[in-house]
Amino acid sequence: MRRASWFNVASVGLGLAFLYLPIVILVVYSFNASRLVTVWGGWSLRWYGELLADRAMLEAAATSIAIAVASASAATVLGTLAAVALARHGRFRGRALFTGMIYAPLVMPEVITGLSLLLMFVALAWDRGFLTVTVAHTTLTLCFVAVVVEARLLTFDASLEEAAMDLGCPPMRTFLTVTLPLIWPAIAAGWMLAFTLSLDDLVIASFTTGPGATTLPIRIYSQVRLGVKPEINAICTVLIAVVAFGLVIASLLTKRSHIKQEGMVALGAVR
Amino acid sequence: MSATDKRAGSPAQRLVVLVPYLWLVAFFLVPFLIVLKISLSQTTIAQPPYVPVLDPAAGLQGLREFLSGLSLENYASLLADRLYLSAYLKSLEVAALSTLILLVLGYALAYGLSRAPRRLQPLLMTLVVLPFWTSFLIRVYAWINILQRDGLLNQALGALGLVAEPAVWLSTDTAIYIGIVYSYLPFMVLPIYAALDKLDETLLEAAADLGCPPWRSFWLVTVPLSLPGVYAGVLICFIPIVGEFVIPDLLGGSETVMIGQTLWTEFFANRDWPVASAVAAVLLLLLVVPIVIYQQFQARARDAEA
């Protein structure tokens, strides 16, 4: 009964074109020799050269990557713990609140999360900067990690763990030798998701950052507000290439491209 | 007693729950309470820029002074100023209309995907998900290139002879809708696709065998069975769109102001933290019902999976 009707082919074709055309145009125009972003002046790497000379942009990129690595790592640990708690610990006290706190941040408008975290940091009298952005990103992304890892925990057979424990394996060892090898693709996918979300975030970082910790999206945003520049196309293309490269590496590492699957589970379950 | 119960009991296992729990209470729940508190405060030129500040050293007397310093003034000014009210209404309007557009386009795309040849489906789904992994800001920025006055859209329309004069696209409501639909489309497609993918095709065959025309079996069988996916997609898109900041700020014009922008301006430009907090508190109040429905939904979906 699976005949490709014209309607189905058209909807998929147009849908994919709509999703990809703007990105393709952006990438192509980053190689434009002309200063005018709308006039094609031949192929050139000029804007990549200018990008390399832009100290502020490079510093922002380094800051962003450092924050993304730190927050994704913290979020992966906390999110995995949360996932194990949700999937394996049955009805503990305060479970409803816990579930709520995992799922609410996924849809909460970022302006609310950003403002509330900032006011929290002010109340604690923490100096705003690298640490506060990292804590903010950890809080948001640990929820995404938790959902991805939990989905994985729910789909494999819990009796494997029970068998190990019935045979006298202590819980900690069961987790390390049975559970962890089974869920690590989801954990890796969770880390990647957290890393990407942190690298991408403008709103929460703008609220929680301070002097000396300008992230890449904040820098790009302040440039974009002044108008479209070919240099921005170049940095965007570099970012797209980095993410694409990361995804290819990740899917090669996990053989049956679990990452893509988990990424889809993440989206299906999360957003 | 099952193994899972045993594990929850030991102190080490209790930590598994406790550590992320405390983190979320400290950095997700408590901050909201602080927002509520500051929304009842007044602006001042100081650091922090609001009064009263609770001074734990002053004891009970300090607490009494603190409480008497709180007022509903900021909420009153939100109500009195048409600006805030129209920003809230505009945000709800934009979110409702764009969610509707997303639903129509997302359903068509998800339906097309679910009818594609089985072996192609993983590849096609990956292609739909992939843009999500590239930066949100970049994807919005990409549209500025296209929509500006001498941008590619006007060049294309001009070349086709469809418009004599370059049309204005950027800084209009149309641009906001394009940006939102573009950014949120994968979030609508995925849950609907997941629901359609689970659909038992023999039901459609049975309907056809009994003489039901395809369009009727679509309405009577496919649509009702895909509703869980539709509800999930609608909530996942609607809630964050109401508070959207980046898209209206970069693509919209000055005449359309959404509440996320208002909050941003109050905070960053006017440095009025108490009013920004009140704006956030009211926004949260508006969204609390859809967020709770969304959570219930997720919990039920998970129980069904487990």
**What DSSP line would sit under chain B, residue for residue?**
--HHHHHHHSHHHHHHHHHHHHHHIIIIIHHHHHHHHHHTSEE-SSSSSEE----GGGHHHHHHHHHHH--SHHHHHHHH-HHHHHHHHHHHHHHHHHHHHHHHHHHHHHHHHHHS-GGGHHHHHHHHHHHHHS-HHHHHHHHHHHHSTTSHHHHHHHHTTS-SSPPP-TTSHHHHHHHHHHHHHHHHHHHHHHHHHH--HHHHHHHHHTT--HHHHIIIIIHHHHHHHHHHHHHHHHHHHHT--HHHHHHS-TT---HHHHHHIIIIIS--HHHHHHHHHHHHHHHHHHHHHHHHHHHHHHHHH-
Q: What is the pLDDT of residues B159-168, one digit of tens each?
A: 787 777 777 8
Interface of B with A in 47-76 (CB under 8 A): 48
Residue A251: predicted pLDDT: 65
Residue B194 sits in the same domain as residue B90? yes
The proportion of chain B whose per-residue pLDDT surpasses 70, expressed as a percent, equals 91
Is B208 inside a domain boundary? yes
Contacts of A12 in chain B (CB under 8 A): 109, 112-113, 116, 124
SS3 state of residue A217? helix
Q: Does residue B5 lie within any of the structural domains?
A: no
Instruction: Report CA torsion sign: A118, B32, A97, A124.
Output: positive
Range of the domain at A45: 31-270
A113 inside domain: yes
Q: Does residue B90 sit in the same domain as residue B109?
A: yes
Q: Is residue A160 one of the residues assigned to a domain? A: yes
- Mean pLDDT of the region B128-157: 82
Chain A CA closest to residue B251: A225
Determine, yes or no, domain membership for B4: no
Average pLDDT score over chain B: 84
Q: Is A126 exposed, middle or buried, given 0-12, 13-18 or 19+ CB atoms closer than 10 A? A: middle
Query: Is residue B8 over pLDDT 90?
Result: no
CATH for A186: 1.10.3720.10
Residue A47, helix vs strand vs coil: helix
pLDDT tens per residue, range B210-253: 888 888 888 888 899 999 899 999 999 999 999 999 999 999 88
In a domain, B31, yes or no: yes
Name the domain count of chain A.
1
Are B291 and A108 within 8 A, CB to CB?
Answer: yes
Three-class SS of residue A116? helix
Q: Supply the range of the domain harboring residue B59.
A: 16-71
Within-domain flag for A61: yes
A176 touches chain B (CB under 8 A): no
What is the distance between the alpha carbons of residues A138 and A195, in angstroms, rounded to a whole number? Answer: 10
> Residue B51 falls within a domain, yes or no?
yes
Average pLDDT over residues B187-215: 88
- What per-residue confidence (pLDDT) applies to B56? 64
pLDDT at B12 over 90: no
The beta-carbon neighbor of A103 closest among B116, B125, B295 is B295
Residues B281, B236 share a domain: yes
The CA distance from B267 to B274, in Å, is 9
- Report the distance separating Cα A222 and Cα A225, nearest Å: 5
| Cβ pair A22:B118 closer than 8 A | no
What backbone phi and psi angles, to 5 degrees, belong to B34? -65, -40
Q: Is A8 within a domain?
A: no
Residue B7 binned pLDDT confidence (cut-offs 50, 70, 90): very low
What tens digit of pLDDT does each residue of A204-222 get?
A: 999 999 888 899 999 999 8
Range B280-286 average pLDDT? 92
Q: Are residues B101 and B35 in the same domain?
A: no
Interface test with B, best of A32, A89, A107 (most B CBs within 10 A): A107
Indicate whether B247 and B104 sit together in one domain: yes
- Rounded Cα distance between B130 and B111, Å, is 19
| Number of independent structural domains in chain B | 2
Predicted local confidence at residue B79, as pLDDT: 83
Task: Report chain A residues whose CB lies below 8 A from the CB of B295.
Answer: 99-100, 103-104
- A142 assigned to some structural domain: yes
Residues of chain A where predicted confidence (pLDDT) is lower than 50: 1, 255-262, 265, 267-271
Write out pLDDT tens, residues B67-85.
Answer: 766 778 888 888 888 889 9
Facing residue for B305 by CB, picked from A154, A172, A220 = A154
Between B136-147 and A6-29, two packed helices, what is the crossing angle to 10 degrees? 90
If phi > 0 it is left, if psi is from -120 to 50 it is alpha, else beta; for residue B252 that is: beta
CATH number assigned to the domain comprising residue B125: 1.10.3720.10
Q: Taking CB atoms and an 8 Å cutoff, what residues of chain B touch A139?
A: 23-24, 27-28
- Considering the domain architecture, whether residues B215 and B150 belong to the same structural domain is answered as yes
Judge whether B6 lies within some domain. no
pLDDT in the model for residue A257: 42
In a shared domain, residues B55 and B162: no
Question: pLDDT at residue B103 above 90?
Answer: yes
- Tell me, yes or no, whether B160 and B246 share the same domain: yes
Calculate the alpha carbon distances from A20 to A213, A259, B124, B143, B264 in Å: 32, 21, 13, 12, 30
- pLDDT at A43 (0 to 100): 85
Distance from the A26 Cα atom to the nearest Cα atom in chain B, whole angstroms: 6
In a domain, B86, yes or no: yes
Q: Is residue A6 part of a domain?
A: no
Distance from CA of B85 to the nearest CA of A (A): 18
Nearest CA-CA distance, residue A240 and chain B, Å: 6
Which residues from chain B sit within 8 angstroms of residue A89, using beta carbons? Answer: 4, 7-8, 13, 16-17
pLDDT at B58: 66
pTM: predicted TM-score of the whole model, two decimal places: 0.87
- pLDDT per residue as tens digits for the range B29-59: 999 999 988 888 877 666 677 777 666 666 7
**End residue of a domain, out of B49, B71, B93:** B71
pLDDT at A4: 58
Position A150 in a domain: yes
Residues B84 and B67 in one domain: no
Residue B291 lies inside a defined structural domain of this protein: yes
> Among A39-48, B202-211, B296-305, which stretch is predicted with the lowest mean pLDDT?
B296-305
Q: d(Cα B138, Cα A29) in Å, to the nearest integer?
A: 14
B6: pLDDT confidence band, cut at 50, 70 and 90? Answer: very low
